[in-house]
């Protein structure tokens, strides 16, 4: 699955969700957000039976406002991982040629 959020103007964002079964697109307008970070990962919810298999997130990129190109994530940030989730950089985004790194998530719940 691929999720892309693109800032198309100072108050508009285009949203794209693509999987093997198709693509969905929508637009967020009159949005005063000023994004300055990237969040990568997964969440589980519930008191019993919640789980997530081993998953990796790669090609983590961001697009400057008004640009026609993407920049790979190049900062490890300050990971926040809450038990029972296990998560870490398999390939840090600071690794040359990593194209935004590879973030690993698993819940052995």
Which tokens is 44 given?
């589980």
Confidence of residue 27 (pLDDT cuts 50, 70, 90): very high
Whole-prediction pTM value? 0.67
Q: Which residues pair with residue 55 across a beta bridge?
A: 105
* Confidence check: pLDDT of 92 > 90: yes
Say what the pLDDT of residue 25 is. Answer: 93
Give residue 53's Cα distance to chain centre. Answer: 17
Q: How many CB atoms lie within 10 A of CB 104?
A: 16
């Amino acid at each position: 699955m691929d999720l892309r959020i693109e800032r198309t103007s100072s108050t508009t964002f285009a949203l794209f969700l693509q999987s093997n079964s198709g693509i969905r697109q929508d637009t967020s307008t009159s949005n005063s957000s000023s994004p300055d970070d990237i969040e990568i990962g997964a969440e589980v919810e519930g008191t019993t039976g919640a789980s997530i298999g081993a998953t990796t997130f790669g090609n983590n990129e961001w697009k400057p406002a008004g640009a026609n190109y993407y920049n790979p994530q190049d900062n490890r940030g300050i990971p926040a991982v809450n038990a029972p989730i296990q998560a870490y950089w398999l390939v840090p985004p600071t690794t040359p040629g990593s194209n935004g790194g590879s973030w690993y998530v698993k819940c052995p719940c």
